[in-house]
């Protein structure tokens, strides 16, 4: 279903680029009242194009993930900072898994100055980033390739992953519930992620704060199963308390930035 008005089409386009839109910002941009913008957002939500959050809206999750190219643009600056900080946790001369996700791909880009790494991945984009570097050994899990984002999923990928015990796993997730559940959209991808977590000595989760505003139907696991959570900002007191309870180290790349 298409948005009814030109303004609604522009609002939807902004949401696809930014990941979220704010009522007050939109009212200023279009020179209309906040009430008018709220009606626009409600209309878009009724069409299941957006989902309402406090003060605005985000791209609707439903049971399908946002298109790969659109996801690359959502919180792009935050993802780059998260990727750089997570890469700094990886020592030279170590082994790691890297799974599917636009944020894990930023970790891979930030790893290129490292030396003597063994990288096992089910993400063709990660493999393309790292294989040209002579000090890297890159192993790609086999199996069907998901055309939308270059993910390798399925039983063959799981079988290969289970042959290794690596120093660090770098994983992403599509959504995080406030109770600490890590969620995704594709049960085949989830099974690969679970195998990755089970076969690493340390698990590093990389996810921006918008993941707490999304929903996804398939459970990967719980945040208590990871050792380090790298994010731009953790705004949920409940999730922060869960991390503290389970000795999960939280690293925030932009903790001081104000939230509108």
Residue 55 three-state SS = coil
Residue 207, pLDDT above cutoff 90 = yes
List the one residue out of 64, 104, 86, 78 whose CA is nearest residue 19.
78
Q: Token digits for 174?
A: 């599509």
Residue 48, pLDDT above cutoff 60 = yes
CATH 3.40.50.1360 region(s) of the chain?
75-252
pLDDT above 70 coverage of the chain, percent: 91
**What per-residue confidence (pLDDT) applies to 47?**
83
Q: Which of 96-110, 128-142, 145-159, 170-184 has the lowest mean pLDDT?
A: 145-159
Task: Identify whether the C-beta of residue 104 lies closer than 8 Å to the C-beta of residue 172.
Answer: yes
User: Residue range 33-45: average pLDDT?
Assistant: 91
List the one residue out of 52, 110, 116, 120 whose CA is nearest residue 83.
110
User: Residue range 219-245: average pLDDT?
Assistant: 97
pLDDT above 90 coverage of the chain, percent: 67
**What per-residue confidence (pLDDT) applies to 149?**
83
Q: Token digits for 166?
A: 């690596």
**What per-residue confidence (pLDDT) applies to 259?**
43
**What per-residue confidence (pLDDT) applies to 13?**
83
User: Residue range 115-119: average pLDDT?
Assistant: 97
CATH 1.10.10.10 region(s) of the chain?
6-60
Residue 80, pLDDT above cutoff 80 = yes
Cβ neighbours of residue 225 closer than 8 Å, sequence gap 6 or more: 197, 203
Task: Identify whether the C-beta of residue 120 lies closer than 8 Å to the C-beta of residue 193.
Answer: no
> Per 3-state DSSP, what percentage of the chain is helix, strand, and coil (rounded to 5)?
40, 25, 35
- The more confident residue out of 182 and 215 is 182
Give Cα 217 to chain centroid, integer Å: 15
What's the CATH code, domain 6-60? 1.10.10.10
Measured CA to CA, the distance from residue 126 to residue 131 in angstroms comes to 8
- The more confident residue out of 70 and 28 is 28
**What per-residue confidence (pLDDT) applies to 260?**
39
Residue 212, pLDDT above cutoff 80 = yes
Residue 64 three-state SS = coil
Tell whether domain 75-252 is in CATH 3.40.50.1360.
Answer: yes
Which pTM does this prediction carry? Answer: 0.76
Measured CA to CA, the distance from residue 70 to residue 56 in angstroms comes to 19
Question: Please, which pLDDT band fits residue 63 given cuts at 50, 70 and 90?
Answer: very low
Average pLDDT for the chain: 89
**Degrees to nearest 5, angle at CA 133 with 130 and 136:** 75
Task: Identify whether the C-beta of residue 97 lies closer than 8 Å to the C-beta of residue 200.
Answer: yes
CB atoms within 10 A of CB 145: 15
**What per-residue confidence (pLDDT) applies to 144?**
87
At 6-23, the pLDDT tens digits run 899 899 888 876 767 899
């Amino acid at each position: 279903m298409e948005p009814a008005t030109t303004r609604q089409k522009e609002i939807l386009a902004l949401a696809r680029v930014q990941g979220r839109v704010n009522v007050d910002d939109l009212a200023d941009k279009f020179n209309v009242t906040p009430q008018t913008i709220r009606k626009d957002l409600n209309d878009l939500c009724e069409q299941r194009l957006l989902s309402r959050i406090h003060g605005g809206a985000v791209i609707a999750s439903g049971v399908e993930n946002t298109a790969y190219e659109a996801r690359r643009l959502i919180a792009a600056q935050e993802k780059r900072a998260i990727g750089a900080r997570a890469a700094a946790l990886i020592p030279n001369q170590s082994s790691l898994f890297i799974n599917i996700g636009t944020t894990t791909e930023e970790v891979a880009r930030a790893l290129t100055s490292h030396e003597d790494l063994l990288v096992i991945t089910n993400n063709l984009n990660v493999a393309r980033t790292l294989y040209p570097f002579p000090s890297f050994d890159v192993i790609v899990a086999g199996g069907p390739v998901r055309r939308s984002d270059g993910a390798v999923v399925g039983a063959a990928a799981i079988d290969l992953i289970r042959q290794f015990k690596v120093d660090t796993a770098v994983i992403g997730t599509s959504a995080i519930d406030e109770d600490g559940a890590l969620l995704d959209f594709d049960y085949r991808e989830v099974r690969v992620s679970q195998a990755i977590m089970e076969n690493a000595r340390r698990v590093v989760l990389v996810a921006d704060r918008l993941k707490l505003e999304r929903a996804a139907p398939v459970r990967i696991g719980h945040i208590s199963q990871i050792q380090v959570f790298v994010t731009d900002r953790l705004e949920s007191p409940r999730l922060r308390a869960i991390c503290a309870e389970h000795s999960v180290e939280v690293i925030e790349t932009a903790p001081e930035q104000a939230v509108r």
